[in-house]
Structures are given as C-alpha cells and as structure tokens.
Structure 1
Amino acid sequence: MASLKHTGPSTFYTELAELPVPVTADFVGGDVDTRPVARVTYSVRDHERNTNRSLTKTFPVISTSGSDQHTTPAVSHDSSEVKAFITSPSKSRQAILREVTDGAGTKRIVEIWAGTQIEASLDVTKYHDVFHTDEILSSLSFSPSETSFLYTAEANVDADADASDDPYLKFRFTPNFGEPSRTKKRPTIFLFRWTRSTAFTRAAKQDMLLCALSLAQVTQVPVLFGQATFATEDVIFATGYDHTKDGRILGVKWYFNRPMGMWELRLPESASLHGTPFGTRISCNSLKLTPLERSCRSPRVLYDDSQTPVKLFWLSNPVGGAHSSCVSLESRDLTAGTNKIVVDTVMETTPENHFPGLYTEYNMPSRPFVHRGDHAYLVLHSTWYSRTTVLVIDTETGAITDETKMRDGEPMYSWNVLTTDSKTHFICSRSTPTAPSEVLLGYFDEHGNLSWKVLDKPMISVETENALSDLTASIIPIGARPPTETLVIQSKTLSSRTGPKPVCVTFLHGGPHSTSTTAFSPANAALALEGYTISLPNYTGSMGFGEKYIRKLLGHCGTMDVEDVVESVNELIRLGISEHGRQVVQGGSHGGFLSAHRQYPNLFNAAVMCNPVISVGELTGSDIPDWIYDEFGLEFTPQSLMTPITYQTLFEASPIAHVDRVRAPVLVVLGEDDLRVVPTQGMRFYHALKGRDRRVEMLTFPKETHPLDGVEAARVSWEAGRDWFKAFAEEH
C-alpha cells in the first residue's frame, strides 16, 4: 500500500505562490530628473493554466514628497510573445524580441519602438534560431546613437552545407551549456542596425542591417559570446565563454568559477547598411581584457556627463575551486587601458569591519549606476550573513555603504536592486520570511541623503494576512560552530502553547555554496502556516560569511556540513524551540545530499529529498564534473578519470555509504530532464531502500530540470512533502 496519500490542495500555498514577484524594472518616458516613470515587471504563477505569466505595472508620475504616499499603477498583462525588452538610454525607445506562433510555425521578430510607433521591425526567423534571454547569455543593448541594437540568439547550423554531401554535419557533437537546457550550443551576438525615418514611418528593409559577430583572430580554444553591451558605436564589451581542453562547456548556471573573461570587440567599418546580406557573419578585432585565472562576467559601462565611456566594470571570481565564492568587483579605465580591483575578496570579518565581502547575483543590474553629488556609485544587492542588503559602492575608491542595515526591532528585510535611472533614482524590492515582496523607489536628494518611497504592495486576502501575522522569524547563531546560524520561522500561538512543540522541518539549501536568506518563500511560509516550525541553517560553505568559510568546506563535504546541520537541530532543542522526536528534514541537490546522510539515523522521523546527490563517484554524467573533485578536496584536470582510489574516497563521503543505517521514511522527488544531478542518483537511492524493505516513495516529473520549478511540479512537490510529513512526522 502506498504511504503517500494526497490530502488535498492548500489555499495558503496557492495564494502565496501566485503573488506577483518583481523580477525586472526600468525607467521609461518623461523627464527622469523631476518626474521619473517607473515600470516594474512581475512573474506570476498561474496554477489554472499551469504556466508562468508576466505582468507589468507602470507608475506614471512618482512624487518624491511624502514617503507614505504611492501612486495607483497602470497594469498590463504582457503577451507571451514578448521574450525580452529593454528601454534605450534616452528612455525614448524600446527594443522588443518577439516570438509569434501560428499554424505556419514560429516567427522571430526584432522590433524597435519610438514612443507608440514602430521605428524598425525585422523578421529574423531564417537568420538564426531561438533568442537567448537568460541571465547567462542574454545581450540587450542600444548603441549611444540608438540606431543599433545587440541581442544574443542561437546560430543555425550552417545552412549553406548540403546535407547530402555531408550527412555528419547534422549529428556532429557540439557541447552545450548544461543545466537547464541542452539546446544552448551556439550562442551568437547579433547586430541589428537601422536608419531612422524622418516621416514617422518604419525603416525600409534596405535601410536595415542584421549581422552575426565573430572574431577576426583565431583563439587558442573556442570561445562563445554573450552579455554584449555597447560602449561606443563601434566598440562592444562582451563575456567570452571558453571551451575546456577536453572539449566541454562546463555547466554555467549557478556557477561563478567557469573559464570565461571580458572581451573588447571592435566592429569593422564594413558593417554598413548598404549591400550587406542579412545574416552575414562579420569579423571583429578583439582583445581579451582579463587573465586566464579569473572568471569574469556582467560587463557594465560608466559614462561621464558628456556621454563618453570612461570605465568598464565587471564581476570576477577565481577559475576552479568552490563553484560560488566571494565576488571581486573589477574595473578598466577606458582611457588608460588599465585594470583595477575596486572591491576585493574578504577572507573573514573583523571586529572593526563586519563587511563579509560581495556575494552578488550572477549579474549586476542592467543599469547599476547612480550619482550622489559629483561622484558615481554602483548600487548592488549582496548577501550579508543570512539576508541580502543594498550596497552603494564608490566607483573610484571602492568604499561601501550598507544602505539597508538591519537594526534591532526592524523587519528582517532581504533586498533586491532591480535598476537605476543612471542619475539619482533606483528601484528595489524587499521582503521578509513572513511578508511577500513590495517594490520601493530609492532616491538621493541634493545633499546626498537617501530616502525611500513604497511604490507597490502585494494584495493578500484578509485570512492569509491574519495567518501571516501569527508567524515570527528570527536568526539564531549556532554557538558551538560559528559562524553557522539558522533562520527560524514559527507560529507565535503554537510555539507558546503547553504540550508538545510543533514538528520542526529542517530545510537544507543546495550548492553547497548558496544561502538561505530572509527573503519571502511561499513554500516555507505556507508550510509554517500548516503548523510546522521551519529551520533553515546556513552551514559551513554558505555564502555571505567570508571566503574563509567557503573554502573551509572543500574536502569536508559529508562531514563538516552534516555536523553543522545536526548541531543546528540540537541548538533549537536546547533553546526549547523544538524537541526530540518531532524532527523532519528536506533538501534539494546538495541539500538532498545532506538530507540523505544518515550518520545520525535516529535524528529525523521523515525525509524529503529533491534531485539529491547520492553517490558522488557516480555523478560523472553531470554537466559539472569538476564539482565532484573540487568540493571533496580532489584535483580536477581535463585528464581526470574516476579511478578506484578516487571512487573509494567519494563513496565514503556519500549518502549511499550509509544506506543501511536509514530508518526514517524517505520521499524522493526527481526532475527527469535534470542535467546537473542526473535522475539515476535518486533512483539508485530509491531502489537501495526498497531492496532493504525501508519505507520509500518516489515522484518523477517529465520535462523538469534541476530546480523542479515548473508550476505544477513545484505545487505537487510541496503537497507531497506536506503529506509525507503528516504521515510520519510524529512517529517514534
């Protein structure tokens, strides 16, 4: 008989998961000096249609007087045809990448809008494959004159080759970028150029140019490009992704340590509008600006008051080692041609300086610069211990100001910087473990003082709002294993009652170099509203605590991180927040690895693990084969092989080595298209437990990748975890 029985949907989960989440923003139209117009795009889960949708809210007139006032926004539901869009530097134009599907197939169109009129439009379907709009490869950049536009798309296989003469072309191996898509193989920067019409009509086709950019020089290893941005009409900066010696593109998603660098590309004078066939590949003179030992991404150009490019900024990490680590902010003086470290790696905090270093997203905001007086600053959000905060960084000195420092008695906000107007305004979102995201405008006055104005708050039902008000969140240091700490979410009512404590769910983040922050999570909040206490430990290796504690875990995965988790459970028991016999655990990826480890077989009553790492030595089919070696203290080179000695080391550090000690019921949840932790990992654990007569169930989701973040998959996984804990949480 099946142990997993569905007990029905959760109204709390559905409502919270469907709340709009702000993901991007920009400033459009108007005079941004006095009356900036803010546009915020949100992602919305639609459970009825089983899809993610988007909507845009526009705040047409923002008054910066009165911090408690806000303007009712205009709301539009974005078409699924729009794959990406960006506003030009002057705020007068917008570029849109559009995919239109009808009975004849899919068309790809690039559009340039000037106000409410189309200035240029081109059907690019036959010149390349899909647009790349993800954070890793996307390029969306206007030239300073706003007559050229860069974007990234998947190049077609050579259409000129005759398949009957060369049948191998279609099937010849080409490495891909790994999780979450095996179809990203040939990202290419495309230049779209047009001549403006003076009669408010669209540019004629003969007045447009579309070409693919390539390198004039031959590189030692193949290099692919993305994240391109204009500096001048003919100078472009881009991120170059290197193939490895053994012909791989190591998986990039969630990884900051890949062989990649900053490049300068110069367009040839021949890139004119007349006589160049559409889709032509043009060769650019190129210069790599960064050394081989640094992994560099996210180029951003700073202009002076005369709109001359003066500096290039980017994010940098070491190549190899921990997959994510403390970020360095670097720059290049575009006049002198010299590079500089603006913010360096921080190994460990000190009593005098609590700054733990930069721990940013993969990219900076597309527009990260503001001006405060006569100085230019970068505005970024960065993980600082168990929350994210807004940092303002002097572009000259690297001096850092924490603008959203948490003070006693204030909400534990985690912040995201979405964009700036390149002058004095910027848009952020913030949330807490018990309060969903709201959107704020930050702005500097003439004295350089920062003020905030709430633009948008989520609309929540009275029932859910009252339920959330009963939850409280706190960060608890694990004194025996500093700097480990855990974020605890619990019911005020249930935690204060007499009798048994609520069942405590220990949620373990993946990575291992990631962080559980105080940002709102619908899944965590909904489970807390079901009556559970939630504990989210940031064990050794988590980001935001200093580089020392990231490197400290290397070579000790499966011991140090496990011991940190166990101590976090014991600390909450000592504090009376939870109690023995009422403990369950859940985690995904490396969090699943920790959930599956049973050196302490009687600690948890039930476990849920999503796409878990079970046998590290058998993970060689992953898109991140170096992770196996680096995280477990072994050397990785292109010549590395899984020898019996290496396998033995990895086996002993893996959950599979402790499978005979598993006592708690286990639910395994897998994405069938996961390229990072291949599904056979979880399947092996399932069969090993089944063969030992343990209580185990498994759910598999077709077409789901490593995050299991499809609308249906996320909902069903959440319901399955809840029902698994209901069935077994209080067993002894």
Structure 2
Amino acid sequence: GARLHYVFNKDARGLSLSCHFQSFLPSCSNRFLSSYSLSGDLKAVVRVTSGQVVVWSDRCLKKILDLSALNKHGRVYEDAQFGCLAWSTCESRLLYVAEGKRSIGESYASASSPSAGEPRDKSVYWEDWGEGLTSKSVPVLCVADVAKGTVTVLQGVPSHVSPGQGLWAHDGESVFFVGWWHEPFRLGLRFCSNRRSALFCLDLEGNCECLSGDTSSVSSPRLSPDGRYLVYLEGQVFGPHSQCLSMQQYDLETRKISVLVDVVNRPKKDEFAGLYEALPPRCWASDSQRVVFSSARRNWRQTVQSFSLHSAEKFGSWKLLTIQNDLMVVHCSHLNEAPRLVIQYCGHSYIALGIEVTPIQRAGLCSFPGGPHSQFFAEWNVTTAVLVKLGFAVLMVNYRGSTGFGQDSILSLAGNIGSQDVKDVQRAVLTALADQTAEKLLTLDPDKVVVMGGSHGGFLACHLIGQFPDFYKACAVRNPVINAATLLGTSDIVDWRYSSVGLQYSYDQLPTPEALTTMLQKSPITYAPQIKAPVLLMLGGKDRRVSPYQGLELYRSLKSRGSPVAFVCGGRHSLARVDTQADCFLNVVLWFQQHLYLH
C-alpha cells in the first residue's frame, strides 16, 4: 500500500502545496515511532515489534540498527505517556525510552536500576503503570549513535522515579526528562495528570539535577528554538485525575522558574478557560518568545493564537498539531463538518484540506454522557455522525466537573458523583426536549429516549435508568462503574475511588466501613431493583481501570429480576481496536432499534 504525503513550502510568494504517493516502509508494523532531524534531512523510524531503528535520508535507506541484537534493553516505548524519539542537534544521536532489563530475584524497590543482560524471572510479580501501559514497568533513557551503530542506556536517573518524555538540551550533551515517582507503588498513569513527578536534567556522564519542585505533577517539557527556555505543565498531586494545569517556564540562564499561564478557577464568558491537555510536540514560534497551544474553552477546543481565516466561523474546534518555522498545522472540525487540515503562517494565508458532511436529524434522542473529568468538544465525532445518519438526535452533555470550565467546576464534582452529574445530564435532556417543543420542531420523540456512555459515562447512564426508570427506553454502556466499593481493590487508579466521593487518599489508606458505605451509596448498583430499561453491557475482559466484574455485577442483578440485559466482550478499557469498535457500535444500534421498535 501507499499513503499520500503533503508537502507545504513557504517562500516570498506565500504558501504552496505539493503532494505525492509514498510507499509504506517495508515490513513496518502499525506500532512505530518516527522523527525528523532539525534540518529535515534525516528521518528515523523505530519499529517497535522488530526492535529496529531505520534511518532514511532523501527517501534512501541510510542505516539500520538492530536493537534486539544489541541487547541493551527491552522493548521500545511507543506510548504518548513515556515515549519519545528525539534527534540531537548534531543529528548523529537519537534519544528514546525503552523497558529496562531486570535481574532475577531483584526487589521491586530497586528495579529502576536494571542490570543489563540478566534474565527475568516470570514468576515474580512486577508492577506496571496500569491501564494502557501494562507492558511498561521500568523505563530507561537510551541513546542510539547512528554513525557508530551503538546504543547506551543512560545512567544517573534517580532510583525513585521512572523517566519519560525525554528531549535533548541545545548543547547535545545533556537531556531533559520527566520523572514519575514509583514509590511506594505505581498507580495508573494514563489519562491521569495528577501523579507526583518532576522535571530533571541529566548529562551524558550520569549527573542528574531536579529543575522543578518535587511536590507537584509535571508533563510536556518543550525547549525553545534558541535553547534558553523550557516550558512545561504543572498540576496538583491526587484529587481529580484530570484538572486545570499551569504552564511554567524555566530559564536555563538565570535558573529561575516563572508562571506563564496560571490555573483558571472560574473563567468569565468568552475568556480563556485554562489549560487541560498536553502541549504539542512542537509549540514554539521561531523567535523563542511565543508558545502556541490548544485548550478547551467551555464546549470548544481552541488554538491560542489569532486566526484570521474567512472560514473560521464554520469550525467549532481547533487543535494545533505542530508548528515549524512559524508554519502552523491545525486540525479543525465541527459537529457537522468533517475534519480538515488548516495550514497558516503568521495569521495571513492558509490552505485547507477536507470534505464536508452535513448530518440530518430525525426522530429519537440519544443521550451520550462521558467523563468524569474530560469533555465532549464541538467537533466531528464519527459515532455521533453515524447515529444521526441512522435517525437519532444525539445530546452530548458536559456536566459540572467536565474540563474546559475552570478548576472550580472540576472540584465541584468531588463528593457529588451520582447526584450532581446525574441531575445535570437529566436537566440537559429535559431542556433539549422542551426547547424543540417550544419551537414547534416536534422532531424528537420523548417516548424514545435512550442513553449510552462509557466508564464514568456508563456510571451515569446506569444511574439515569435507575433514578428515572420510566424515562429511558434502552441503555448501552461500555465498561461502566457499577459499584465503587467493590471496584476499590481492582482499579489501577484506586486513589480516584476515594477522591470521587469526597475523601482524602494516601498510599497507606485502608478501607473503612464508613468509606465503603459512602462509595456504595453513590453507586448505581443501589438503583438496580428500579431499572426497567433493557441494558447492553460492553465489557473489556482485560480492563485494568474498570474491572469487567463491575458490569457482571449489574448483569447478575438484572438477570435475577428478569430484566432484559445482554453483554459483549472486548479487550482493554477503551475498547479501541477497530474491529472491537465496529462490533460494539453495531450491537448498540441493533439494541436501540430493537427496543425502540425501529425497523
């Protein structure tokens, strides 16, 4: 097969576009990392499954390093949490993260100092970093010398942290990285910006220094083009697993830290609402004076940069993908506008690529809660678009506690799950129905309302059909939280079980009867006897965040009462594999059509 490559050129006349077909790299799996050198002359590709580094120059093969044969470390990390692939400024070395080697009988407390070449005892339990990172346990920073064909595992990383998100200093003799505390034990890290971590600098001789404070959560370090400034995101430890973050700047000359963007507690209408997501890999303007990024503002995702496109009003959400030489690549879409690329330079000219799709609304309403601290953006969503094409009107609710509305809104949900969020969703549904009646649209049938959601959204969906048993006619949930009390000992983010119900968490926390009672009282399982709506459960058999036994607990309760219920099985928490997504979607549509008597 081949893929279409677009090349954008900037000159005195403006922007120009050319495109060509390029064959896939031979024997390259879907799991790989790639990175261009600063000059753009070299491209490195790491084939994760085969353990090879392939370097290309002007579409010609230049070098292959067989990492497996060199046997310095385990599998290369390709995830966005730890993984990186960075060229040095001299364009001769590559920095990346891989699983470190560990010795037989080694205690886990010392496992971050691996012994190369030692076999692993598979009968020994090794902690990992939870859902989505199950193969990640002891990351190490590695440097591949392209010219010499050698690999070095960097020494000097503090033994109490796991390194990741590495990047080269401007001199090419030291690296920056984020180190996450793994003592006394690891908690789930994916989608959790509240884990204790810090920013470090490590030279190639093994000397390491902590540059930031060590009582916060740190992520997304990005070095300015002139090599003087390092910006990064900082948040609180524990509490909501996704929160409003601040942007800090470290001056490498003065060694001082300053706040560039502070936490926004309660934004005013139409004002900047805070930072909630990772910075793009490249986010600096060429003058090293401006940082461009995307962030949520109420129901929108916007790029913090002045746009002057005549078609800007067509798109609800803008997400910066990268910026190079002041040329910004932005992904934009709306609820009824399919994604397209926008290329802009200095706010003047642009090139847009894409297609337009306009969904048609007809009878029926599908309520679609997500959560708990995430957001539905006013952007293209393929699931929503297809549901609309099939005749459903879809309502996606950003209840209080969602990101994009300030830190106060996020904190308001702690201790109020199962009540505040449920009432917000129900109020939104009733408002949507009332509005269409008031405007005499009469396209939504109040007797054909169904609900679907995943994870905490599944928690909400099951609460809704339990608290309002005569209102919803069918329900479909993916890996729902059903009983917070029984989930306590099986989730990779056990801290959230406490924080969500308004309790403080510490690593040595032991459950008390009072805490377990509070968790149970706020869980949808308590409403199971009232549920009338047919329920479809989609469960991940390998889910580390929400155990499939949560769904089975509801399944058994409903079966014992003769209430219609069915379930399908998948893989991980996100059920993200293409075939799994397709299977789940088809089952949802058929379930809703069956129980709404739609043919």
The within-5 A match list for 1:359-398 is 359-360=276-277, 363-371=278-286, 376-392=289-305
* Distance in structure 2 (CA, Å) of the matches to 1:56 and 1:160: 50
Tell me how far 1:173 sits from its aligned partner: 2.5
The within-5 A match list for 1:509-588 is 509-510=370-371, 512-576=372-436, 578-588=444-454
Cα deviation code 1:508-535 (max 9, x no counterpart): 113x000011221111101100011000
Number of the residue aligned with 2:198: 261
Number of the residue aligned with 2:39: 90
Please state whether the residue corresponding to 1:377 is helix, strand or coil: coil
Number of the residue aligned with 2:112: none
Answer yes or no: is the 8 Å Cα contact 1:389–1:402 preserved in 2.
no
Number of the residue aligned with 1:142: 87
Answer yes or no: is the 8 Å Cα contact 2:42–2:56 preserved in 1.
yes
Number of the residue aligned with 1:687: 556
Tell me how far 1:292 sits from its aligned partner: 2.8
Residue type of the partner of 1:296?
A: V
Sort the Cα spacing of 1:183 and 1:581 in 2 relative to 1 into closer, same or farther, 3 A. Answer: same
Q: 704, 713, 717: which is aligned to 2:584?
A: 717
Percent identical residues: 28
Moved more, 134-143 or 120-129: 120-129
Cα deviation code 1:617-640 (max 9, x no counterpart): 111211100010111101111111
Residue type of the partner of 2:201?
A: E
Number of the residue aligned with 2:593: 726
Please state whether the residue corresponding to 2:242 is helix, strand or coil: coil
Answer yes or no: is the 8 Å Cα contact 1:244–1:638 preserved in 2.
no
> How many residues are paired up?
574
Gaps of 5+ in 2: 107-114, 437-442
Please state whether the residue corresponding to 1:508 is helix, strand or coil: coil
Number of the residue aligned with 1:18: none
Tell me how far 1:267 sits from its aligned partner: 1.1
Please state whether the residue corresponding to 1:419 is helix, strand or coil: strand
Answer yes or no: is the 8 Å Cα contact 2:14–2:349 preserved in 1.
no
Please state whether the residue corresponding to 2:155 is helix, strand or coil: strand
The within-5 A match list for 1:14-413 is 55=3, 57-59=5-7, 61=9, 71-77=18-24, 80-81=28-29, 83-99=32-48, 107-125=50-68, 126-158=71-103, 169-195=121-147, 207-215=148-156, 219=159, 222-231=160-169, 232-245=171-184, 248-268=185-205, 284-304=206-226, 309-350=227-268, 354-360=271-277, 363-371=278-286, 376-392=289-305, 410-413=313-316
Q: 554, 572, 579: which is aligned to 1:705?
A: 572
Q: Report whether the alignment pairs 1:508 with 2:369.
A: yes
Tell me how far 1:425 sits from its aligned partner: 0.6
Number of the residue aligned with 2:111: none
Number of the residue aligned with 1:612: 480
Residue type of the partner of 1:707?
A: S
Cα deviation code 1:198-232 (max 9, x no counterpart): xxxxxxxxx3331111326x55xx21111110012
Moved more, 229-238 or 605-614: 229-238
Residue type of the partner of 1:673?
A: K
The within-5 A match list for 1:593-608 is 593-597=459-463, 598-608=466-476
* Distance in structure 1 (CA, Å) of the matches to 2:490 and 2:271: 41
Please state whether the residue corresponding to 1:379 is helix, strand or coil: coil
Tell me how far 1:62 sits from its aligned partner: 6.2
The within-5 A match list for 1:414-453 is 414-421=317-324, 423-444=325-346, 449-453=347-351
Answer yes or no: is the 8 Å Cα contact 2:9–2:17 preserved in 1.
no
Residue type of the partner of 1:453?
A: I
Cα deviation code 1:598-627 (max 9, x no counterpart): 222122111001000000011121110001
Please state whether the residue corresponding to 1:591 is helix, strand or coil: helix
TM-score (normalised: structure 1): 0.74
Gaps of 5+ in 1: 1-52, 100-105, 196-206, 269-283, 393-400, 459-464, 472-490, 495-501
The alignment's C-alpha RMSD in Å is 2.6
* Distance in structure 2 (CA, Å) of the matches to 1:469 and 1:107: 43
Sort the Cα spacing of 1:122 and 1:526 in 2 relative to 1 into closer, same or farther, 3 A. Answer: same
* Distance in structure 2 (CA, Å) of the matches to 1:557 and 1:402: 38
* Distance in structure 2 (CA, Å) of the matches to 1:134 and 1:404: 34
Residue type of the partner of 1:614?
A: I
Cα deviation code 1:304-328 (max 9, x no counterpart): 2xxxx10111111111111101121
Answer yes or no: is the 8 Å Cα contact 1:239–1:262 preserved in 2.
yes
Sort the Cα spacing of 1:630 and 1:572 in 2 relative to 1 into closer, same or farther, 3 A. Answer: same
Tell me how far 1:155 sits from its aligned partner: 2.0
Answer yes or no: is the 8 Å Cα contact 2:224–2:230 preserved in 1.
yes
Tell me how far 1:709 sits from its aligned partner: 1.2
* Distance in structure 2 (CA, Å) of the matches to 1:168 and 1:78: 33
Cα deviation code 1:434-459 (max 9, x no counterpart): 22211121101xxxx443221x324x
Tell me how far 1:118 sits from its aligned partner: 4.1
* Distance in structure 1 (CA, Å) of the matches to 2:373 and 2:394: 21
Please state whether the residue corresponding to 1:131 is helix, strand or coil: coil
* Distance in structure 1 (CA, Å) of the matches to 2:168 and 2:320: 22
| Larger RCO, structure (CA 8 Å, separation 6 or more) | 1
Sort the Cα spacing of 1:541 and 1:569 in 2 relative to 1 into closer, same or farther, 3 A. Answer: same
Cα deviation code 1:465-485 (max 9, x no counterpart): 6xx4353xxxxxxxxxxxxxx
Answer yes or no: is the 8 Å Cα contact 2:367–2:395 preserved in 1.
yes
Tell me how far 1:77 sits from its aligned partner: 3.9
Sort the Cα spacing of 1:328 and 1:192 in 2 relative to 1 into closer, same or farther, 3 A. Answer: same
Tell me how far 1:75 sits from its aligned partner: 4.7
Tell me how far 1:338 sits from its aligned partner: 0.8
